[in-house]
Structure 1
Amino acid sequence: MCESESHPCDGEDKRKECDFCKYSSSITQSRWFDAFNMLTVVLDSIFIVHVIDPSQTNFPVFFYIADGFFLSVYLLECVLKVCADPRGYWRSASNVLSAVIVLVSWICWFVNVLSQAVSPKTVIVLRVLLIIRLLKMLPDTYTRAYQAFIAAFLRAMKTAVFLIGLMFVVMMIYAVAGYLFFGDPDTGDPDNWGDIGSALFTLFRLATLDDWTDVQQRLDDLSMEFSCIFTITFILICSFGFLNMIIGVVVTEMANAAEQIQKDIQCERKESVDKKKEIIVQQQKKKIERLLQRQTDDDRRLYFIKEYLHKVEEQDNTTKECLQLFTDMMQILKEELEDRQTDQTQKENSLQN
């Protein structure tokens, strides 16, 4: 009896839990929920930037009340999303990051309210990371675009590892040479070339062309021989050579990513059109099948309808083949016209020469 009585309770509990999950999902998937969360993030950002004074050591009570309000909204958002999709929520890296930041922020908030052992600035630094969620306000196309660009940048960095390593080797050679030639504390420039670390930092400035004339001017003032040759050759090799090659690799990957995004968008549009077309065709077929089922008393009419549909399908295939043939012919004519135009241009150039 106990077992039989426990089953209805379990089923009722599961049904209530399922209803609560559906209710939570309907809330989290609504537009006003996302809008309210984004508005909270924006107000929190404005609060952090314009209200908080970094020079303060003791914050007023208003700060803790407003901070607790924003943290409550973030916590409510996490709870509703977890209730809506308990497993899927933790599969997203952004959701995990938000949950960890909110949890740590709440712990710091309680500790600070009770004993003020944690500086509110620590909580502020953590909360600034939540502003990243403003990227969710972008449309899906832009979201996919920056994800593709980040992936392209990472691929470019993998390709450019060899160039970066080779550039570092060249910088080490020039750093040792600069330290030996210009690093003397009495007759040289110890501020820029006094040790290997300073020399590497100075060479990084030269590679990025950041006030490189000031570095060279100090060497010229000290009458360092061949210093201009040292500086010019390094800039030509690292700045105009390696850095431009690295930038070229990154730009190439970005261009390929942009082209791939356009192709994906076109494929998705084509698939959407094909699906709609398939749905329309299936609906027409169902209607025709219903008509055929109603005409069971007249075999000749059935035969005529079947033959007619078969001929219509053949006609559609023929039309498609004709369109494809016409496209191929136009492509061939285009290539012939381009060849003739190229030949004519070459003849005119030869006559002018």
Structure 2
Amino acid sequence: MTKFDKSIDKKLVSAGHSTLQRRFYEIRNNKVFELFVIAIIIFSALMIGAHSYQISATAMSILSILDIAITVIFLTEIIIRFIGEPDKKRFFHNFWNIFDTFIVLVSLIPVEDSEIAYLGRLVRIFRVLRMVSIIPELRILINSLVKALPQLGYVMLLMFIIFYIYAAVGTTFFAGINPELWGDISISLLTLFRVMTFEDWTDVMYESMTVYPLSWIYYLTFIFFTAFAFLNMVIGIVVNVLEQERQIEADLNNNEAQQPTMQELQLQIAEIKTLLMQQQKNR
């Protein structure tokens, strides 16, 4: 075989691989394929719930077979996504790709009647979270919450300071009225959390007002700071970050909408070159 023939064979292999990659890329971005994977994830979640009931041995065997089939489907899906990735070096730069791969690989480990059976079942429960990696809207929500954490941390710190001050005041004045609610500062913090969530907070307030008639000022100011001011700040931060994430996602989608077209052109050019080389070889 001449060097020219070897070069042709290499390009044929390369063209075949590119065609396979293009097909897997199309499958990965197909809505039907995406809906199928979502349906399998939902079915997997229902199976997890079925294990919590008292079922017969036959039904348990069927569930075990279905669990194996679901794991195989998930493994196939990961392989399709990896092969269809244009830049495979960046496949594992995405956190969700790492998460999906980890869940699938751990699911492959046989755990029945073993010491790590509980760990395996726990991982199978987390397979439901794969819904987040499949549905873009859920990914945007999770990414927004994660990116908002640094800003939320300062709000939470300020809220804790307010909680601590009010808990110290409540312990000082109300411990003699009801030690079960205001006996020490840790219990007072729990009581204030109850007040902030409006869980029978009026009962706590009226009990204090029997001794301190103006204690309603204490409760109303605390509710204003926590339930109204700080919680609205938290919502505002999350909504702001969410809007930024939606804009970033929209920009990425616009870029990706143009990228497949260029990739298809490159693949078509490679196939044309291969056909021309085949014709030259036949001559």
TM over 0.5: yes
Q: What is residue 269 of structure 2 aligned with on the other side? A: none
Q: Deviations over 1:209-240 (max 9, x none)?
A: 221123345556xx6x32x534x233322312
Q: What is residue 89 of structure 1 aligned with on the other side? A: 91
Map 1:1-353 onto structure 2 (within 5 A).
7=7, 10-49=10-49, 51-53=50-52, 60-85=60-85, 86-107=88-109, 110-112=110-112, 115=114, 117-119=116-118, 121-133=121-133, 135-136=135-136, 143=137, 147=140, 151=144, 158=151, 164-183=156-175, 188-216=177-205, 219=208, 225-226=211-212, 229-230=214-215, 232-250=216-234, 254=239
Question: Is the contact made by 2:45 and 2:125 (CA closer than 8 Å) also made in structure 1?
Answer: no
Q: CA deviation at 1:33?
A: 1.7
**Structure 2 runs not aligned, ≥5 long:** 254-283
Which amino acid in structure 1 is aligned with residue 131 of structure 2?
Answer: I
Give the whole-Å Cα distance in 1 for the aligned partners of 2:25 and 2:196. Answer: 54
Which amino acid in structure 1 is aligned with residue 140 of structure 2?
Answer: Q
Q: CA deviation at 1:157?
A: 7.3
Q: Deviations over 1:38-62 (max 9, x none)?
A: 221232233333x221678x98222
Question: Is the contact made by 2:41 and 2:130 (CA closer than 8 Å) also made in structure 1?
Answer: yes
Which structure ranks higher in relative contact order (CA pairs < 8 Å, sequence separation ≥ 6)?
2
Give the whole-Å Cα distance in 2 for the aligned partners of 1:20 and 1:178. Answer: 69
Aligned length: 245
Q: CA deviation at 1:101?
A: 1.4
Percent identity, aligned pairs only? Answer: 21
SS of residue paired to 2:117 = coil
Distance 1:104 1:54, change over 3 A: farther
> Structure 1 length normalisation: TM-score?
0.55
Give the whole-Å Cα distance in 1 for the aligned partners of 2:143 and 2:197. Answer: 23
**Structure 1 runs not aligned, ≥5 long:** 137-142, 269-353
Question: Is the contact made by 1:41 and 1:134 (CA closer than 8 Å) also made in structure 2?
Answer: no
Which amino acid in structure 2 is aligned with residue 73 of structure 1?
Answer: I
| Root mean square deviation of aligned Cα | 4.2
Q: Who wins on radius of gyration, i.e. which is larger?
A: 1
Give the whole-Å Cα distance in 2 for the aligned partners of 1:229 and 1:47. Answer: 56
Distance 1:252 1:29, change over 3 A: closer
Q: CA deviation at 1:125?
A: 2.5
Give the whole-Å Cα distance in 1 for the aligned partners of 2:221 and 2:8. Answer: 79
Q: What is residue 333 of structure 1 aligned with on the other side? A: none
SS of residue paired to 1:239 = helix
Which amino acid in structure 2 is aligned with residue 197 of structure 1?
Answer: S
Give the whole-Å Cα distance in 2 for the aligned partners of 1:134 and 1:261. Answer: 16
> Structure 2 length normalisation: TM-score?
0.67
Give the whole-Å Cα distance in 1 for the aligned partners of 2:97 and 2:163. Answer: 42
